[in-house]
Chain A
């Protein structure tokens, strides 16, 4: 487990995101599209991911996890902010250098069936990636490479000639992972990599991801809404709410001492497969629904649902993500008072 200071960028940092915003215009109009507002999908996120670690991103549906992941790979155009990958500002790259940089960052999606072309055999899916990045060094070398990839993800050699629909969900997820690994990336962004799978198969894929990380020294950004999955696989975790990061710390620390009211509520809502724990579990039930990311609340975005809300600053002043303990960042005006029990829900 890494205990790292996430605040200062140094040579451990693989990807350094600063003040990232991705706003989607909402268009109306018949003849001419007018922009009538914005969806603030990602709204000021600063985060650093270190070499060789697994960074877990959690939060509820629509909070901007996927958009953030895509923006990191330049699959979504940021509205503002910077993304520095291994010392290079991605915004400054175009054409060939951008393409070369892209090889180093790959993505694995939730629904591998819709992200894999149904008309392509597994062989052609894998070779395509190699070709696109000029890694196709002749038939023999490629054949060897394909065998390596399949065995790394635990698929038989016979898989090469088959098509995506001939596989089960778990096997397709392995194909998606093999495709990402084919080009030998540094960073793999895995967006809900196991959420469509049965628990037994989910566990197989989680173990596989761990093994591959050890074997190839990969850095992971794992996006998931399942907190138990994220705690299991991640070294550090960032919690998002309505486009912003509200808390970030080590996986065990997040569970042991969640400081943001939203994190507390989120963790308290997760059922644990043990009746004795369930019989005692105290829940912090949040009232109401998630506000729309097109009309985020003023001040702290969580203030409309926060059981600890205070009358002074919460609805007017947006709390900064600040370090309250080494490596533990929280965006709540009252994090310390809540921790020390000075104010109650």
Chain B
């Protein structure tokens, strides 16, 4: 059984006087223990909302969530506020893009980590402090004895992200969600943090959901990759297969859009045309159709359904890139 099974997850936001926004529109995926699953896609495609929904962190008012999020068989969406809070302390950890806003500015770092240990694992304060010290050391914070007493504003961006990872790890989660954990960091610091996350996953068997818009990060870290577009998964494959032969025109378009450090600038980029503002509603057809270089007339008229191709890939497209593989139509 998978550790986490997300089934048909949908999230919409309704605000007075504004049209309802469907941010996540029927997403399904699994996470196995010890594996890293990527969610990748452009701004606004629903990556963060998906992770917040799993963690039970969405505002309750005006938000409608449907589907299920099964963690070892328990539907997290059905839990009370109190129960999901306990889960967050025990089984689920999260690291955000902006560590400053997720750290408490008036509590020293060491105490923040120790409090998590105290609260969720019932360890007494003194022992919790010494475990906090060990954790800071483990995530590569130099001179942890001194850092324990420092406040978040005294730390650099990279150190803050390490502190946040230490806090997420304090409860020994079995699932860690990292939402753009290195987007705000310099590339040399990013390398340190990604290295840390990879090592932790390998050492502790924690499952990781890695959310990023950086295809390079995905290529190096994720066992399996979900490509999101307008709130839906449009392609899913093992990373080597995905990059070797992207089948969804959006995936292929993303790959042709990014300049690569290892190729000279001579070659012109082939960007996807338009922007997400051009999308059509999924109910009407394929949301990507107005931007798609492979679009058929059908694409603007009928919603493409999820298909499982022969090579174990998931695809949602009327006219995929490359040779057709045998396609069987089933549920997720």
Contact = CB atoms under 8 A, between A and B. Distances in A.
A199 B256 CA distance: 10
Interface of A: 1, 60-61, 168-171, 198-204, 206-207, 210, 225, 227-229, 231-234, 251-252, 255, 265-279, 281, 283, 285-286, 288-290
Interface residues of B, number: 50
14 contacts: A1-B266, A169-B275, A199-B258, A201-B271, A228-B258, A231-B264, A267-B261, A271-B219, A273-B243, A274-B243, A278-B219, A283-B191, A286-B188, A288-B142
Given A232-B259, A273-B260, A199 B213 contact: yes
Contacts of A229: 259
B272 to A, nearest CB: 4
B43 A278 contact: no
A169 B261 CA distance: 24
Nearest to B194: A271
A198 B42 contact: yes
Contacts of B142: 288
B215 A199 contact: yes
Contacts of B102: none
Contact of A225 (B156, B187, B191, B275): B187
A285 B194 CA distance: 11
Contacts of B291: 200
Contacts of A290: 156, 186
B227 to A, nearest CB: 12
User: Which one of A201, A255, A267 has the greatest number of beta carbons of chain B within 10 Å?
Assistant: A201
Given A255-B261, A272-B219, A232 B269 contact: yes
A289 B276 contact: no
A206 B187 contact: no
Which secondary structure dominates where chain A touches chain B?
helix
A46 B330 CA distance: 64
A132 to B, nearest CB: 31
For the complex of A and B, the 5 pairs showing the least CB-CB separation, nearest first, are: A271-B216, A203-B271, A278-B220, A232-B259, A273-B215
A184 to B, nearest CB: 25
B195 A278 contact: no
B12 to A, nearest CB: 22
B295 interface: no
Contacts of B1: none
Contacts of A281: 220
A203 B273 CA distance: 10
B255 interface: yes
